[in-house]
Amino acid sequence: MGKPTGFMDYKRQTAEAVSPKERIRNFHEFHTPLSQEEQQKQGARCMACGVPFCQSGMTLSGMTSGCPLHNLVPEWNDLVYTGNWQQAYNRLKKTNNFPEFTARVCPALCEAACTCGHYGDAVSVKENEFGIIEHAYAQGFAAAKPPKVRTGKKVAVIGSGPAGLAAADQLNKRGHQVTVYERDDRVGGLLMYGIPNMKLEKHIIDRKVAVMKEEGVEFITGVNVGKDVKAAKLFKEYDRIVLACGAKNPRDIKAPGRDAKGIYFAVDFLSATTKSLLDSELKDNKYISAKGKKVVIIGGGDTGNDCVGTAIRHGASSVTQLEMMPKAPDTRAEDNPWPQWPKVCKTDYGQEEAIAMFGHDPRIYQTTVKEFLKDKNGNLCGLTTVKLEGKKDEKTGRMTMAEVAGSEHKMEADLVLIAAGFLGTEKYVADAFGVALDERTNVKTEAEHFETNVKNVFTAGDMHKGQSLVVWAIREGREVAREVDISLMGYTNLKA
């Protein structure tokens, strides 16, 4: 374990954030990493609990508690404390292909389940993970290690998000020849175009992809499999195919006036900004600009928050975020005990920036859109909103959000961004390969397995599980790689 009294001797420390008004001037990451000396103190705080909930990945009350990758958290915390950075990296990489991604964008399920956090402050696990992986790159520990033996088997991975990349990385390490197809112009999928630059700078993705290329993974970008390349061609060329195309069907808001000009899906807004930023530092104007506009974001979660932060960086004149559900409590409720994921109100970076810029939290709870208002030219000019209240359905017993009669309210809006989640697999991909979908429009497989109804075709990530976290996508990628490897070789030595 770390220092036996470390959790009493040292206070929790995390990387200091640049002030909101300063960081909104650009799209760079905005945290200053801890020094190695301070990082070792944070490692010392780990108690190496008899039951390490941090690495459990259990499902409690429908929510994940602890790391789905079962990261060996107490082990590498201790190794950080003792200054054994290379061994800490080796232990971290045993379970996580991409700590450089999760250390930046994961909501730290591990920390929410940390025993230190039960009555005090959790160990800064995510911070330590960041320190380990960045130190590894600086010292050369994370350099390419190509497999020494090749199996002669060929695998195509469709989609280069975290699930596809994890599957490719694992299968390549096993010695199979892996080709990753990506329809966008850059590798990364959700990581590249779904997550804003200020949360994950794209050179971090490029750095890891360069290592994977050196290790033998082939990447083909700008190819839309199912349209540009037929499935039949891939069946002839590859022994196995892994579909990891994500859940990219955005959920729409069906309200009168939806055809108004100025309403976009959040994913299109975010991806266009990132592409323009990478191509030209936004000078090409090939993005949906929020500059000078009254922006309304429909939906909460990470995507809604990312839209808030991005719109502010564009120079929006105001930003409002509508959330259907009530505000979560500021502290754990009695029916939400540790080590369950804490269902508490979180003010994320985008909301912090809105508060700094406009003087108030942008979120309006228990509210949705009843009508989009248009001017005579068909341009969006406002919204009619309505308040919602929880009511129990007498037939099912479930709580639903119902409109409050007479609570309609008009508000101005020049730009609306719909961040209401995703509905599942894009149909043309499923049709191209002939794979069956379940009732949620995810690719159907047997429980706890990854092979589809089509022989030699497997699936993983959001396309299989539904919209979820990057850490879950990595786990799915690792698990599908095991199943593919068994189907090719009759056994596997890959770790899930």
Q: So where are the chain's domains?
A: 6-139, 154-248+423-489, 263-418
pLDDT of residue 350: 98
Instruction: Quickly count helices (H) and strands (E) in the chain.
Output: 18, 18
- Got the DSSP string for 311-339? HHHHT-SEEEEE-SSPPPPSS--TTS-TT
272-310 CB burial, b ≥16 within 10 A, e <16: bbbbbbbeeebeeeebbbbeebbbbbbbbebbbbbbbbb
Alpha helices in 200-252 (DSSP H): 202-214, 231-237
Phi and psi dihedrals of 298, rounded to 5? -100, 105
**Cβ pair 73, 125 in contact under 8 A:** yes
Is the separation of the CB atoms in 102 and 471 below 8 Å?
yes
CA contacts within 13 A on the Cβ side of 32: 7
| DSSP-derived 3-state class of residue 57 | coil
Cα separation, 110 vs 139, whole angstroms = 26
Same fold, 6-139 and 263-418: no
Contacts of 404 (CB under 8 A, 6+ apart): 386, 387, 388, 389
- Separation between Cα atoms, residue 42 and residue 178, nearest integer Å: 39
CA distance 363 to 323: 7
Residues 192/186, Cβ–Cβ less than 8 Å: yes
Name the CATH code of domain 263-418 (choices 2.60.40.650, 3.65.10.10, 3.50.50.60, 3.30.70.980). 3.50.50.60
Q: pLDDT (tens digit, 0 to 9) for every residue of the chain, 496 residues total?
A: 678 888 989 999 999 999 999 999 999 999 999 999 999 999 999 987 888 999 999 999 999 999 999 999 999 999 999 999 999 999 999 999 999 999 999 999 999 999 999 889 999 999 999 999 999 999 999 999 999 999 999 999 999 999 999 999 999 999 999 999 999 999 999 999 999 999 999 999 999 999 999 999 999 999 999 999 999 999 999 999 999 999 988 999 999 999 999 999 999 999 999 999 999 999 999 999 999 999 999 998 999 999 999 999 999 999 999 999 999 999 999 999 999 999 999 999 999 999 999 999 999 999 999 999 999 999 999 999 999 999 888 888 888 899 999 999 999 999 999 999 998 899 999 999 999 999 999 999 999 999 999 999 999 999 999 999 999 999 999 999 999 999 999 999 998 7
Query: Which residue reads 């470390």 in tokens?
Result: 6
Asked whether the bond before 339 is cis by omega within 30 degrees of 0, the reply is: yes
Compute the Cα dihedral for 377, 381, 387, 391 and give only its sign.
Answer: positive
Tell me how far apart the alpha carbons of residues 357 and 360 are, in angstroms, rounded to a whole number. Answer: 8
User: How many other CB atoms sit within 10 Å of the CB of residue 438?
Assistant: 13
Decide: helix, strand or coil at residue 64: strand
The whole-number pLDDT of residue 333 equals: 94
Q: How much of the chain is in helix, strand and coil states, percent to nearest 5?
A: 35, 20, 45
pTM of the model: 0.96
CATH fold for the domain made of 6-139: Fumarate Reductase Iron-sulfur Protein; Chain B, domain 2 (1.10.1060)
Structure-derived torsion over alpha carbons of residues 240, 145, 475, 271, reported in degrees to the nearest 10: -90
Structural class in CATH, domain 154-248+423-489: alpha beta
**What φ, ψ does residue 318 adopt, rounded to 5°?**
-160, 155
Are 378 and 260 a contacting pair, CB within 8 Å?
Answer: yes
Predicted pLDDT at 1? 63
* Tokens read off for 65: 């508690």
